[in-house]
Amino acid sequence: MSSHLDQTFAALADPTRRAMLARLAQGEASVSELAGPFLGSMSLPAVTKHLKVLENAGLVIKTREAQWRPCRLNGTPLKDASNWIEQYRRFWEESFDRLDAYLKTVTRSDKGRHDGRKKKSR
Amino acid sequence: MSSHLDQTFAALADPTRRAMLARLAQGEASVSELAGPFLGSMSLPAVTKHLKVLENAGLVIKTREAQWRPCRLNGTPLKDASNWIEQYRRFWEESFDRLDAYLKTVTRSDKGRHDGRKKKSR
DNA sequence: ATTGTAATTAACTGAAAAGTTAATTATCTT
DNA sequence: AAGATAATTAACTTTTCAGTTAATTACAAT
């Protein structure tokens, strides 16, 4: 049992899969169209599997048209991923760097101790 | 050899690790403080390993203080992850849904064919 | 010096991930 | 009906990941 976010982030952790999403951002594509750029370095079944991971994560929706499987990107799981990350925005923005710098100025001694004792002063 | 984004997304794909980041967002914590909530369900070495993954991804910075390893969150890798995801924002926002709905209205037939032929009309 | 606490390292296990080749299914074309 | 094309499934290998227990390192306190 793995959460939605688990699956989304796991799917995004692979460069082949991110490239496939990038391709799909340009528009619908069949499996072989998606596979094209990778067939030099991996087999078609490997691509099918990557696609399955994206599909299971809900990032790609595969339909049927004759012997083709047109795929399109579904962004909704990315919304949750984005929201999750956004929680941490302050940790990479300027304002935080300044806060951080400030916190470093304040002596960490007592706040930082785990044994409830004072640190020797330097 | 895995890219920065690979490592970041892979690190975020695990709920234990995300929980550890959530804890660190509250402020610095030692390894055992971080481990606390999980010691019911996993061993301390397991926690150390998760922490190592976060550290390798650059999401956590571990320092030394006596026998403790105070850890703090470093948000910068999240910035890249966020930027990557933001590229796809239009795929989960209203405006896109409308565009999508519109595209479905227009007959997909020729646009969607991969063999350059016309579809039989229904 | 000995003991206790914090954390890591070592060595191992089991399960999941990522790839392979070969065979199979489904559909279209002639 | 036969052949070509698109894609998947099966069976297998290899590697990586997540966890375990036991041993070890490092420091502090007495």
Tell me how far apart the alpha carbons of residues A10 and B61 are, in angstroms, rounded to a whole number: 23
- In this structure, are A67 and A84 located in the same domain? no
Q: With respect to residue B122, please indicate whether it lies within any of the assigned structural domains.
A: no
Percent share of chain B, pLDDT over 90:
70
Q: How many domains does chain A have?
A: 2
Residue B105 pLDDT > 90, yes or no? Answer: no
How many CB atoms neighbour CB B64 within 10 A? Answer: 8
- In this structure, are A45 and A97 located in the same domain? no
Interface contact flag, A6 B28, Cβ < 8 Å: no
- In this structure, are B62 and B9 located in the same domain? yes
Percent share of chain A, pLDDT over 70:
75
Domain that holds residue B69: 4-74
Residues of B in contact with A10 (CB under 8 A): 9-10, 13
* CATH code where residue B25 lies: 1.10.10.10
Residue B119 pLDDT > 70, yes or no? Answer: no
Region of poorest pLDDT, from A14-18, A57-61, B118-122? B118-122
- In this structure, are A53 and A102 located in the same domain? no
B62-84 tens-digit pLDDT: 999 988 999 999 999 999 999 99
- In this structure, are A37 and A61 located in the same domain? yes
Q: With respect to residue B116, please indicate whether it lies within any of the assigned structural domains.
A: no
Region of poorest pLDDT, from A1-15, A64-78, B33-47, B84-98? B84-98
Residue A66: both structure tokens together: 């004759």
Question: Considering A74, A95, A117, which residue would you say is the last residue of a domain?
Answer: A74
- In this structure, are B12 and B62 located in the same domain? yes
CA distances from B91 to A26, A33, A98, B6 (A): 11, 21, 34, 22
pLDDT for B2: 72
- In this structure, are B54 and B70 located in the same domain? yes
Q: With respect to residue A11, please indicate whether it lies within any of the assigned structural domains.
A: yes
By DSSP bridging, strand B60-62 and strand A71-73 are: unpaired
* B77 in Cβ contact with A15 (< 8 Å): no
Cβ-Cβ contacts under 8 Å for B20 (sequence gap 6 or more): B34, B50, B51, B54, B60
- In this structure, are A38 and A62 located in the same domain? yes
Name the closest residue on chain A to residue B21, using Cα atoms. A88
- In this structure, are B69 and B92 located in the same domain? no
Name the closest residue on chain B to residue A5, using Cα atoms. B13
Please state, rounded to an integer, the average pLDDT across all residues of chain A: 85
- In this structure, are A35 and A53 located in the same domain? yes
Q: With respect to residue A117, please indicate whether it lies within any of the assigned structural domains.
A: no
- In this structure, are A83 and A52 located in the same domain? no
Tell me how far apart the alpha carbons of residues B23 and B27 are, in angstroms, rounded to a whole number: 7
**Which of B's residues 72-111 have CB atoms within 7 A of nucleic strand D?**
none
- In this structure, are B24 and B84 located in the same domain? no
A58-104 tens-digit pLDDT: 999 999 999 999 999 999 999 999 999 999 999 998 656 666 666 65
